[in-house]
Amino acid sequence: MRGSPSPTLRAAALGLLAAAGVLAISASARPLAAQAGDDALLREATAQLQAMIRLNTSNPPGNELLTARFLDSLFRAEGIESQVFESAPGRGAVVARIRATGTAGTAAKSPLILMGHMDVVGVVRDKWTVDPFAAEVRDGVLYGRGAIDDKGMLIANFQAMKALQRRVRAGTRLTRDVIFVANADEEAGGEFGMGWLLRTHPEAIRAEYALNEGGRTRVMSNGKRYVALQMAEKVSHVVTVTATGPDGHASIPLEGNAIGRLGRALAAIAAHREPTVLTPTTTRFFQSLAAVWPDAAEARAMADVASGDATRVEHGAAVLRAVPTLDAVLRNGISPTIVQGGIRSNVIPSEVSATLNVRTLPGESLDATVARLERAVNDPLVRFTVTSRGKDSPAMSAENEFYAAVERAARRVDPTITVVPYLSTGATDSADLRRAGYKAYGLLPFPLEMPDEERMHGNDERLPLTAFAFGIRFVTGIAEALALP
């Protein structure tokens, strides 16, 4: 659809917010005029996010083109140049740009990208307590698939672009182009999204820096926040485990039943732990986090992990095993995700299989990981096959203007916040950009407690509107720090 969102949609969304009593965006006191302006911004942004969630872009099949046209209409309404690229029927990307105006005698810096993706993972509807595509607000919390991953980020990026455009209209000169990119197909590998853009329209998105999803803004148990800025990410692979055995009629139990064999293999895989491996990013992550972590025992464990002393590293890693989100960055991860086999209840199958999602740390060998799994299973009738092999990408630096801009922007929103470098366990479009020479960083700008963060890709995905408002101001601050004089 072209043009601005319909008056009916906007009115309905704003009415829902008013009924929910969603007004304040921060616990800190601010002048009344600023508060009123923030409230209006939040109402507008929430209505835009609701409209996007109501456009079902579950991938497969994606169907991102309607969302792309909606975003394009928002940019055109603000007078920002925007273009929709169609990568396949029903699939698309949006690229919008605010051009640098520069200063006399000074060349513009290389552009900055603010990016995210429009597709979302599917849902199991009967596991949700609300309609996953109704974008309902309850008690100041917006529910819906994509609220966190990644439509909320797209609207935060749009609002940052809108703020920059208003500064330009008021006479402020930008030092670099700022480019908005909304991709398709991120949840299924990016063949029709970032990969397609890099292959077919590289000139439209050429830039020095990119701010994408992939990091975290977390609320600790003491209420304080930290920003985990993604500098690197694990590499995602798919490995198939296949067990074989005698087939026959189920009325006669057979030794070596393939299903039992696969079950024993999966039990061995579940018990297996990959070696602890520290990268420069994870070492600095734990070193920085140890200074602010509220749990004293876990803080000491983080310091141990970052110490470089092998004995202390293993001791600290053993303690952090109790925190899955922290343990996962210390080693390769192996998760069984699909089990397949059998054709009838009265037939013993000769072959059954399971799918493993394997996430290797940067620089770690998938083949060596598979060899360790083979030794752990120790069964010649169980074979491992690499079904899909991911590609590694370089880690980013914390010693540049981008990292400094994130620190400044974070402290403008919360003076007590800590920014730490982060190796993410999830795969993102940033890997494609890093391999192409971009300096790509990941951020989830919304401060979330762990139960809400874990709803990403899960049931009842939701975004507290206070966190949404924080994220909009955070992303806007980053863009201003990098693009204003």
At which of 330, 359, 388 does a domain end? 388
* Same domain assignment for residues 210 and 301: no
* Same domain assignment for residues 48 and 192: yes
* 397: in domain: no
Q: Residue 358 belongs to what domain range?
A: 234-388
* 94: in domain: yes
- E strand intervals along 349-452: 351-360, 382-388, 418-424, 439-442, 447-448
CATH number of the domain within which 315 lies: 3.30.70.360
Sign of the alpha-carbon torsion through 417, 421, 427, 429? positive
At which of 339, 359, 388 does a domain end? 388
CATH number of the domain within which 64 lies: 3.40.630.10
| pLDDT of the residue at 29 | 33
* Same domain assignment for residues 21 and 141: yes
* Same domain assignment for residues 201 and 240: no
* Same domain assignment for residues 48 and 87: yes
* Same domain assignment for residues 116 and 184: yes
What b/e readout covers 222-251, taking b as 16+ CB neighbours within 10 angstroms?
Answer: eebbbbbbbbbbbbbbbbbbbbbbeeeeee
* 408: in domain: no
* 229: in domain: no
Count CA within 13 A, CB hemisphere, residue 57: 33
* Same domain assignment for residues 179 and 244: no
Angstrom distances, CA of residue 83 to CA of 168, 181, 462: 20, 10, 30
* Same domain assignment for residues 41 and 79: yes
- E strand intervals along 119-268: 137-138, 141-143, 176-183, 209-212, 216-219, 225-233, 235-244, 248-249
At which of 388, 415, 448 does a domain end? 388
Q: Provide the residue-wise pLDDT of the chain in tens; the chain has 485 residues.
A: 223 333 333 333 333 333 333 333 333 334 434 455 689 999 999 999 999 999 999 999 999 999 999 999 999 999 999 999 999 999 999 999 999 986 656 789 999 999 999 999 999 999 999 999 999 999 999 999 999 999 999 999 999 999 999 999 999 999 999 999 999 999 998 999 999 999 999 999 999 999 999 999 999 999 999 999 999 999 999 999 999 999 999 999 999 999 999 999 999 999 999 999 999 999 999 999 999 999 999 999 999 999 999 999 999 999 999 999 999 999 999 999 999 999 999 999 999 999 999 999 999 999 999 999 999 999 999 999 999 999 999 999 999 999 999 999 999 999 999 999 999 999 999 999 999 999 999 999 999 999 999 999 999 999 999 999 999 999 999 999 999 99
Contact, 185 vs 193, CB < 8 A?
yes
* Same domain assignment for residues 15 and 148: yes
Query: What total of structural domains would you count in the chain?
Result: 2
* 1: in domain: no
* Same domain assignment for residues 104 and 180: yes
* 221: in domain: no
* Same domain assignment for residues 295 and 323: yes
* Same domain assignment for residues 306 and 449: no
* 219: in domain: no
| pLDDT of the residue at 103 | 62
Looking at residue 174, the DSSP 8-state letter turns out to be P
How far apart CA 456 and CA 362 sit, in angstroms, is 23
* 420: in domain: no
- Record the pTM: 0.88
